[in-house]
C-alpha cells in the first residue's frame, strides 16, 4: 500500500480510538437522568423542575378532570343589593344614570366552589356569596343542600360556605409557588349555568394585578376559558391538584383570566373557618364614596377647575358624625391639595385609626374647614365589598 495512504489510515485509526474513548466516558453521564437533573437544576429552581416532571408523568386533561371534578360544587344565590346613598336632587343630572336611588332589589347569582373538608366546608369567592340571603349548593351528582356563609374576606375575594353533609369528596390542594408560565392549566366550573364545564389553557403569567398591569400583584394569569359562573371554581394542574381559585376576567379581552393562588387561599381559609374573618391591622376609614368632578359639575358649583372630589356620605360614618354632607367637595386633606378621588384615598391611607384629620371642603359657594376623627374600616366597606354595580363585578372588568 502506498505510504501516503498508510499515513491517512493511521490518522483515521487514532481518531477512532479517541472518539471511542470519549464516548465511553461521556455517554453514561449524558444518558444518566441524575446527571441531566443536576445540570438543569443549576440553571433553575430544583423544586420547579421536579414539579414539571410530575406534570409530564401525569396522563392528561381527562385524568385531571376526573380527579378534581367530584369536589366541585355549584352555588346559586339570592342577594339583596342596596342602592348608593341619595345625593341632592339639584345636581343628579350631572351624574351617570342609574347610580342614585334608595331602595333594595333582589339579585340572583351563580358561581362555583370546591370542597376542602369532607364535613362540608367549601371554598369560593367572596363576590359569589356577597349579600346572599338564600344560598343553594349543588354537588356533582345533583344533590342539593342549603348553604350558609361561615366567613368572608373581601380583600382577597375569598369565602367559606358550609353545608350539612359528611364524607364528601375533597379537592387535592397543590402548591401555587411551584407554577411555571407555559404549563397546562384546567378550569372547572359552572359558566352561565353549564354544570361541570372543563376548559384548558396554560399559566400565562404569575404575580399579576388586575387594577394595574404595570404593578406586581399576586394573581395567576391564565388563558383557560373562564366566564361568569366559573367564579370560585378551581384552576388545576394536569395532576388534578388545585393551584388557583378562578376569580375574574377582563371584559372584551381574549384569554385574560385571573385566579387567586391556592397557597394564599390555604392561609385565608383556615382563618375564615376558625374565626369567620381575617385579622389584619385596622385601616383608617373616612366613610364616603368619591366621584370625580367634570365640567358640568364644576360649572354648577361655580368652580374654576375640576380639582377635588365630590362625596356621598355613609350613615354612621366618621364623615357623617363630623357633619359632612352629600355633595360636599373635598379640596384639601391635611393641607394637601386634592386633584382627584385617588388623592383622597392616598392621604387617608397615610393616617391612622383614631387620628383627627382636617378637610377643606366646598359647600354653598364657600370654603369650610371640617375636622374628622377616623375610625377603623368595617369589613363591609373593605375592598370589593361595598355593593358594587354589575359593571364593577370582577367578571365584568
pLDDT in tens, 222-260: 999 999 899 999 999 999 999 999 999 887 888 899 999
Are 55 and 140 in the same domain? Answer: yes
What residues in the chain have per-residue pLDDT under 50? 30, 36, 58, 384-393, 396-397
Burial track 40-52 (b if 16+ CB lie within 10 A, e otherwise):
eeeeeeeeebebb
Are 296 and 262 in the same domain? Answer: no
Domain count, the chain: 2
Out of 248, 280, 312, a domain closes at 280
Are 202 and 349 in the same domain? Answer: no
Are 271 and 340 in the same domain? Answer: no
| Of 333, 335, 361, 368, the residue nearest 348 (C-alpha) | 333
Q: How far apart are CA 92 and CA 368, in angstroms?
A: 23
Backbone phi, psi, residue 341, to 5°: -55, -35
In this predicted structure, what is the pLDDT of residue 315? 92
**Contact of 387 with 376, CB cutoff 8 Å:** no
The catalytic site residues sit at: 127, 157, 231
List 362's β-bridge partners, or say none.
Answer: 329, 367
Q: Residue 130: inside a domain, yes or no? A: yes
In this predicted structure, what is the pLDDT of residue 65? 94
Q: Residue 161: inside a domain, yes or no? A: yes
What is the dihedral sign for C-alpha 38, 43, 47, 51?
A: negative
| Of 390, 370, 297, the residue nearest 90 (C-alpha) | 297
Q: How far apart are CA 270 and CA 385, in angstroms?
A: 21
Structural domain for 334, as ranges: 284-376
* H or E stretch at 16: helix 3-30
Out of 227, 257, 280, a domain closes at 280
In this predicted structure, what is the pLDDT of residue 377? 87
Are 371 and 228 in the same domain? Answer: no
Out of 280, 314, 344, a domain closes at 280
Amino acid at each position: 500500500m502506498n505510504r501516503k495512504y498508510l499515513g491517512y489510515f493511521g490518522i483515521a485509526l487514532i481518531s477512532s480510538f479517541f472518539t471511542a474513548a470519549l464516548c465511553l466516558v461521556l455517554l453514561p453521564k449524558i444518558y444518566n437522568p441524575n446527571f441531566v437533573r443536576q445540570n438543569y437544576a443549576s440553571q433553575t429552581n430544583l423544586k420547579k423542575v421536579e414539579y414539571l416532571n410530575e406534570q409530564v408523568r401525569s396522563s392528561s386533561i381527562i385524568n385531571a378532570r376526573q380527579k378534581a371534578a367530584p369536589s366541585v360544587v355549584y352555588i346559586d344565590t339570592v342577594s339583596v343589593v342596596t342602592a348608593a346613598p341619595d345625593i341632592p336632587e339639584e345636581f343628579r343630572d350631572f351624574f351617570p344614570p342609574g347610580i342614585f336611588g334608595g331602595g333594595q332589589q333582589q339579585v340572583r347569582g351563580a358561581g362555583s366552589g370546591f370542597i376542602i373538608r369532607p364535613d362540608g366546608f367549601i371554598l369560593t369567592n367572596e363576590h359569589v356569596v356577597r349579600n346572599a340571603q338564600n344560598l343553594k349548593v349543588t354537588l356533582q351528582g345533583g344533590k342539593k343542600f342549603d348553604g350558609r356563609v361561615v366567613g368572608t374576606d373581601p380583600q382577597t375575594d375569598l369565602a367559606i360556605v358550609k353545608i350539612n353533609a359528611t364524607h364528601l369528596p375533597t379537592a387535592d390542594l397543590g402548591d401555587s409557588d411551584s407554577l411555571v408560565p407555559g404549563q397546562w392549566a384546567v378550569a372547572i366550573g359552572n359558566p352561565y349555568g353549564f354544570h361541570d364545564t372543563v376548559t384548558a389553557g396554560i399559566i400565562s403569567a404569575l404575580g399579576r394585578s388586575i387594577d394595574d398591569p404595570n404593578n406586581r400583584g399576586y394573581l395567576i394569569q391564565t388563558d383557560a376559558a373562564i366566564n361568569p359562573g366559573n367564579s370560585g371554581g378551581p384552576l388545576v394542574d394536569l395532576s388534578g391538584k388545585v393551584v388557583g381559585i378562578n376569580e375574574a376576567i377582563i371584559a372584551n379581552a381574549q384569554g385574560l383570566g385571573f385566579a387567586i393562588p391556592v397557597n394564599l387561599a390555604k392561609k385565608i381559609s383556615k382563618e375564615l373557618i376558625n374565626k369567620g374573618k381575617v385579622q389584619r391591622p385596622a385601616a383608617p376609614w373616612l366613610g364616603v364614596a368619591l366621584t370625580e368632578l367634570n365640567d358640568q359639575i364644576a360649572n354648577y358649583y361655580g368652580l374654576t377647575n375640576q380639582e377635588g372630589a365630590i362625596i356621598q356620605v355613609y350613615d354612621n360614618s366618621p364623615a357623617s358624625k363630623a357633619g359632612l354632607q352629600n355633595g360636599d367637595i373635598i379640596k384639601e386633606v391635611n393641607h394637601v391639595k386634592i386633584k382627584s378621588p385617588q388623592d383622597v384615598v392616598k392621604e387617608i391611607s397615610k393616617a391612622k385609626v383614631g387620628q383627627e384629620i382636617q378637610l377643606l371642603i366646598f359647600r354653598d359657594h364657600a370654603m369650610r374647614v371640617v375636622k374628622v376623627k377616623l375610625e377603623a374600616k368595617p369589613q363591609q366597606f373593605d375592598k370589593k365589598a361595598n355593593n358594587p354595580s354589575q359593571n364593577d363585578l370582577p367578571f365584568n372588568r
